[in-house]
Amino acid sequence: MIEAEVATFIEGAVMTILASRDAAMVAAIGRGVGTRRLDAGAFETLVSRAQWPLLLANLETAAPLAITFVRAEDYRCYQIKAEVEALAEAGEEDRARALSYIAAMSARLGALGVPPRPISAWLTERDLVRVAYRPLSLYTQTPGPQAGSRLTGASSAGDAA
């Protein structure tokens, strides 16, 4: 299980990068536009199918998935290795959640000097898919001597992506 402090971090305005792989082990990446905890052991991240079709093409139930969450101000970073539980079309409530996330991230990145144009290219609420997944392991990736360390709190069922 992911501890409450890390779950709050993950659900916040942090950069979210997802990685999948195809049958030939070729990676595909994309950005998420909002993550929420579904229950004590599962999360869901919104992803634009229009923007990240290769990432989503690799995902089906039980597929491996890696998700990295980064706070831009200090590069505090966590990576979850997970197993996909479900994919679903996003609804209006999801779109509203994505728009809220995009506004928060745009403000956060803007405060760091990132101009609006690249932000709007990175983050969109168009054609959203809900990607639900169950974490298998959690790592800290924050630069420093602990980078890459496995944290307690996620199940030890093994590594995914």
User: Could you read off the pLDDT of 63-90 as tens digits, one per residue?
Assistant: 999 999 999 999 999 999 999 999 999 9
Establish if 132 belongs to a structural domain.
Answer: yes
**Model pTM?**
0.89
Contact 53, 68 (CB under 8 A): no
Structural domain including 8 reads 4-151
Cα separation, 63 vs 82, in Å, equals 8
CATH number for position 17: 2.30.110.10
Average pLDDT on 18-25 reads 96
Q: Is the pLDDT of residue 113 over 80?
A: yes
Domains held by the chain: number: 1
Structure-token match 């590594």, residue found = 159
Establish if 121 belongs to a structural domain.
Answer: yes
> Distances from the Cα of 40 to the Cαs of 57, 103, 107, in angstroms?
27, 27, 30
Cα separation, 8 vs 62, in Å, equals 25
Q: Is the pLDDT of residue 136 over 90?
A: yes
